[in-house]
């Protein structure tokens, strides 16, 4: 009889919520080894109404969830942006992401931007360029994602995988 190997596998969907561009990244964590499954963005257009942009995010994230069947969703916590109005709008985009996960009965974890940066780069005040380059290194990509929204989403997924290990 051959050897039987049991691996702990977790698929994480990282989401960088926004109302114009929402980034997503799907990463598998197989016994601590991370591998990229997919990443991309869901983009709205300024000419579309705000509710229509939220609907596009809703439909796009539901499609990603249906296709990749993540075990966990991780997203960035809301932070105070340039204005209260911007912060509220981002919060509404986050709400859509949380709703998509909840409707699919997927647990959600939220991380502050500084926590994500520290998990990926090693310092909490890292620049987006540094985060993007470390995502490339950690996931062994030939080139980094073009859009920061996608690399940030992957960083959030990576952060969740690292934090999860430290809690076990």
- 67 appears as a binding residue in the annotation: no
> Binding residue per annotation — 76?
yes
Which candidate in 71, 76, 92, 133 is catalytic? 76
Calpha distance 144→49 (Å, rounded): 32
> Which among 16, 28, 29, 152 is annotated as catalytic?
16
89's tokens: 């709008």
76 is catalytic: yes
Say whether 28 is catalytic.
Answer: no
Return the DSSP state at 47.
T
149 in a known ligand binding site: yes
Q: Are strands 72-76 and 9-16 parallel, antiparallel or unpaired?
A: parallel
Annotated catalytic residue within 8, 29, 92, 149:
149
Own/partner pairs for 76-81, CB < 8 Å, 24+ apart? Answer: 76/15, 76/16, 76/17, 76/110, 76/111, 76/112, 76/113, 76/116, 76/152, 76/156, 77/110, 77/111, 77/112, 77/113, 79/112, 79/113
Is 29 labeled as catalytic in the residue annotation? Answer: no
Catalytic site positions: 16, 76, 149
Annotated binding site: 16, 76, 149
Annotated binding site for Mg(2+): 16, 76, 149
């Amino acid at each position: 009889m051959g050897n039987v190997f049991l691996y702990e596998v977790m698929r994480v969907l990282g989401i960088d919520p926004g109302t114009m561009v929402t980034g997503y990244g799907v990463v598998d964590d197989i016994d601590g080894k991370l591998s990229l499954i997919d990443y991309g963005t869901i983009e709205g257009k300024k000419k579309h109404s705000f509710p229509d942009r939220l609907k596009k995010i809703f439909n796009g994230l539901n499609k990603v969830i249906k296709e990749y069947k993540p075990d966990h969703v991780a997203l960035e916590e809301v932070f105070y942006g340039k204005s209260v109005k911007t912060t509220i709008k981002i919060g509404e985009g986050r709400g859509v992401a949380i709703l998509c996960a909840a409707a699919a009965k997927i647990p959600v974890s939220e991380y502050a931007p500084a926590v994500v940066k520290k998990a990926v780069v090693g310092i909490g005040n890292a620049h987006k360029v540094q985060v993007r380059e470390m995502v490339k290194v950690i996931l062994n990509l030939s080139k980094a994602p073009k859009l920061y929204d996608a690399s940030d989403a992957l960083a959030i997924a990576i952060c969740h995988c690292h934090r999860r290990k430290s809690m076990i």
